[in-house]
Amino acid sequence: MDYFCKSMQITTFIDQMGRDVSIPFPPRRIISLVPSQTELLFDLGLNNEIAGITRFCIHPSDGYKTKIKVGGTKKVNLNVIRNLNPDLIIGNKEENDEEQVRKLMEEFTVWMSDIKDLNGALQMISEVGKITRKHQKAEEIIKDIENGFRDLQQQNLNTSCRIAYFIWKDPYIVAGTETFIHDILIRSGWKNTVLTKRYPELRMKEIKSLKPDRIFLSSEPYPFKEKHIAEFREIYPNAKVLLVDGEMFSWYGSRLLKAPAYLQTLLEDAG
């Protein structure tokens, strides 16, 4: 690895946690520890540079089938990562385990994202484009995402529907403020009934007090199914309960290209 790095230019970038990260430029062996950022790397045209992904990096399907898995987002296999000998690992503050990330930083070059809203996601896309020498393609993706969300907001300026967005069951956990999901809800014209920061765990009394117009049951991280709809209808008899695609609300990479069309359809169906 030392010889490999000496043959490359070392360039310093600042990650979204404010760290100076010296990266062999451009990186030729990349491990991604975040599904949405893995998909972005593929869409930037970096198939040959991607050395490893997590078992949750399901998009694109061809990439999932062919790339070596380094574990999960919360529990990576350090020996597999060592064998892959990456010159860059890309992670995320929220999705990856802090202790494991610190261990990785002791041996490898690690660039971290920290995303709470759409602007942060677009910044991440731009920075990853620069790091991988795919800046032009990254800017094309950013422009298309911006145009999609601009059209979405213009079509739904007067929406006032109140949403409770559930991400987990037993215990019940919802998406509150200072989350990427919250920002997507607001940009779509909905109002989030949960004003607590991050992802609060709610007791039944607190759940009933929300009084939403619509209940969104996310497909991830908890896989809500049709069987759960009746349960929530008992809690909220006056609210419409819908299963929603969690990737469209929480994946902050190039999947955002598809999100505005999905959200517009959901707005038309859910109100």
Mean pLDDT of the chain: 93
Q: What is the pLDDT of residue 157?
A: 62
Structure pTM?
Answer: 0.93
Q: What is the pLDDT of residue 158?
A: 62
Selection from 59, 62, 7 nearest residue 32 by Cα: 59
Residue with tokens 């996601």: 121
Domains of the chain: 2-114 (3.40.50.1980), 154-270 (3.40.50.1980)
Q: What is the pLDDT of residue 87?
A: 96
Helix axes 118-131, 135-155, angle to 10 degrees: 170
Digit-coded pLDDT (tens) for 19-67: 999 999 999 999 999 999 999 999 999 999 999 999 999 999 999 999 9
Q: What is the pLDDT of residue 204?
A: 87
Q: What is the pLDDT of residue 7?
A: 55
Q: What is the pLDDT of residue 8?
A: 66
Q: What is the pLDDT of residue 2?
A: 44
Assess contact for 45 and 26: CB atoms under 8 A.
Answer: no
3-12 burial, b for 16+ CB within 10 Å, e for fewer?
Answer: eeeeeeeeee
Q: What angle do CA 135, 139, 144 make, to 5 degrees?
A: 155
Kindly give the parts of the chain with pLDDT less than 70: 1-8, 157-159, 270-271
**Strand locations in the chain (E):** 9-14, 20-25, 30-32, 50-53, 68-69, 88-92, 110-113, 162-168, 172-174, 191-192, 201-202, 214-218, 240-244
